[in-house]
Chains A and B, each alone.
Chain A
Amino acid sequence: MNTDLRPQLERLHLAAFGWALHCCGRDRAMTDDVLQSVYLKVLDGTAQFAGKSSLKTWLFAVIRKTAAEERRRRIIGGLRFLSIDRSENSPSDDSVEESINVSENVEMFRKALAALPRRQQEVLHLVFYQDLTIEETAAVLGMSVGSARTHYQRGKKSCRRQLERMEEFNELRQGHQRPLPAAST
């Protein structure tokens, strides 16, 4: 087992989790499975880091590929073909999922993002969430820098539109919640 990469994997764990969560459509159980498969691939040498890019970029590309494989597998084979033991008490339990208390704006933003095309979502996530450059984003997604830039610009534009709608919605809601002026006697 390739243990040299272990400390580096640990350092990138939270970022990897965020990216895996995005690639798995925020499905926690699938994210856990994908992340474990990725770590297994990296540590047993099935996926080999050639050093052509940064470790983070490479790891993100492996996560994206593994998540795509997993999605395909689930679509084709159905869940019953997967030998997954879900009996463990993991943090992905539904109770934990329900207990997530995010602010309303973040939740709305999340929904707004879900309406964007997948490529735009990926580019925006990598740039804004993971702080990658457009060049690194292009490397992770296996596309040209020009394409990544186009997706980035379009994604930002769509996101702006969604934010404007959110603002309008919030204003409208605040207007409704404002107490009625007291009637003069």
Chain B
Amino acid sequence: MNYDKDIKDLYQQLRRDDERHAPSFAFVLSRMRQGATVIRRIPIVARFAGAAAGIALTSFTIVSVRPSAADVEFAQALEASRPIAQWRAPTDMLLKSPAAKLLQNVPKLGETFADMNIKFE
């Protein structure tokens, strides 16, 4: 069997079949004029400029949003100091004077002790 001839014949059948369904040259040109298939072509310079702007914007965002090393250190120190500041000695209440409020208030002229309305704990 002459396969080369067979391949050629089959290809030619394919070709005839394709040609039967091909749009005419005039039809393709008319569509082209109407701009039916104007594939959006962005010039290469604009593409590069866009890409560069995108990279710059991303870099700036990353740099500005990311805290500096000093900020991180300060935040860590603050976080570490918080439990110390809140700590109270278990014997703290023994140091409280029953008349502590009396000492904290500013005395006024003519005011009696009863007027001060101090409750002892």
Q: In the complex the two chains form, what is the Cα distance from A109 to B25 in whole Å?
A: 28
Min CB–CB distance B35 → chain A (angstroms): 8
A163 and B18 in contact (CB under 8 A), knowing A83-B40, A129-B11?
no
Q: Place the interface of chain B in its size category.
A: 20 to 34
Q: In the complex the two chains form, what is the Cα distance from A100 to B40 in whole Å?
A: 31
B37 touches A37 (CB 8 A): yes
B15 touches A129 (CB 8 A): yes
A32 and B17 in contact (CB under 8 A), knowing A70-B39, A82-B39, A128-B7?
no
Q: In the complex the two chains form, what is the Cα distance from A9 to B34 in whole Å?
A: 19
Min CB–CB distance A48 → chain B (angstroms): 17
Query: Interface SS of chain A: helix, strand, loop or mixed?
Result: helix
A-B contact count (CB 8 A): 96
Which B residues, 1 to 50, have Cβ-Cβ distances below 8 Å to chain A? Answer: 3-4, 6-8, 10-15, 17-19, 21-25, 27-29, 31-32, 34, 36-40
Write out the residue numbers on chain A whose beta carbons fall within 8 Å of the beta carbon of B7. Answer: 124, 128, 156, 159-160, 163
Which A residues, 42 to 100, have Cβ-Cβ distances below 8 Å to chain B? Answer: 70, 73, 81-85, 88, 90-92, 96, 100
Kindly supply a per-residue 1/0 record for chain A positions 1-38, scoring 1 wherever the CB is within 8 Å of any chain B CB and 0 otherwise: 00000000110011001100100000010001101110
Q: Which residues of B contact A (CB under 8 A)?
A: 3-4, 6-8, 10-15, 17-19, 21-25, 27-29, 31-32, 34, 36-40
